[in-house]
Structure 1
Amino acid sequence: MKKFRLAAGVVSALLFAANSAFAYDVLLKFEGKVVPTTCQVDGLNEIGMNPVSTEALKEPGGYAGEKVFFISVSGCDGTKLKGMFSPDFSKVDHKTGALKNSVPDGSTAMIQLLDHESKPIDLMLDSISKPFFAPLSVSANAAQFVLAARYLAGDVPVTAGDVKAELTFDLVYE
């Protein structure tokens, strides 16, 4: 009886091992490069948005208070540099791709980012479909990214209150 239990245990273990060897559907391999080059970033860490009226944001999808800002980079080859946003998707509105307000009991307005042509940047979609973007001006040792931010009304009526949001901007070296 002991031999039968032992044999049954060995057969079961082999069957489970064989099945688990092919349990995955996709094998992910990661490959990258760490470069010694670092750039000096001279951009603003805080972008002060001008106050706007709730009347300016009374319609869903309405926007107001556009503020242009620059991220200037020096000390590295600007021709081999790109920028990218690395959003925390829990802080991004899934419908609009705008940044949610992080102030408890603050305004229901969101912050929408714009590219240098004043086209909205959808942080949900663009972070995946076109994550990298080139600086507007480049040279052998500098680059400048030109962006803008504005208040955006979502589906709910915008209420008065403070608005704060944050986002990580990364430099990508070729």
Structure 2
Amino acid sequence: MITPYQIELLQHTLGLRADRRESFRNHFVAGAGHHDMRHLEALEQAGLMERRTTPRFLDDGDTVFAATDAGHQAALAALPEPRNRTRYEDYLDADGCAGDSFGEFLCGVRLPEYETRRDLRRDERHGVVTITEYRMFRRADYWTRDVQGGWCQTKKDAKASYKEELKAFRARAKAPGETA
């Protein structure tokens, strides 16, 4: 009986993984006393591996094992089903046109942004004071905005205001009888 660890040895010998199902090698070198030798010999007895000629550059006593066709099939069959790629993996593999951030990759021009305004106000107690306010918005395209919150003293409050506006925007856009 072949153990899960022995299947892993076969997959390693062939360079197979769940995300790489094509073999790019077929060798495993083990010397006398190697901790995997008994597993390799069990795979050999099961007909899933075979010994190959040892190249001269290896030490005396080293053995080169290679997976047989049956071993290759067993290793492939034991791989888990490939999972779907994530959007983040798509972003990492995208060429330079994906934007400056993952958020820009996902939303494009519709990525929410902050704008800042500063106002100098005279205060009797402190003299001239700079008041900074923030507003968060989203563009419908490069020229127009479709959602924007109100001016707030903190970015946190500006984000909360934007989220309220976004919720109202979605409620207005939802046609009667539809579900979002």
TM-score w.r.t. structure 2 length? 0.21
Structure with greater Cα Rg: 2
Identify the structure with the greater strand proportion.
Answer: 1
TM-score w.r.t. structure 1 length? 0.22
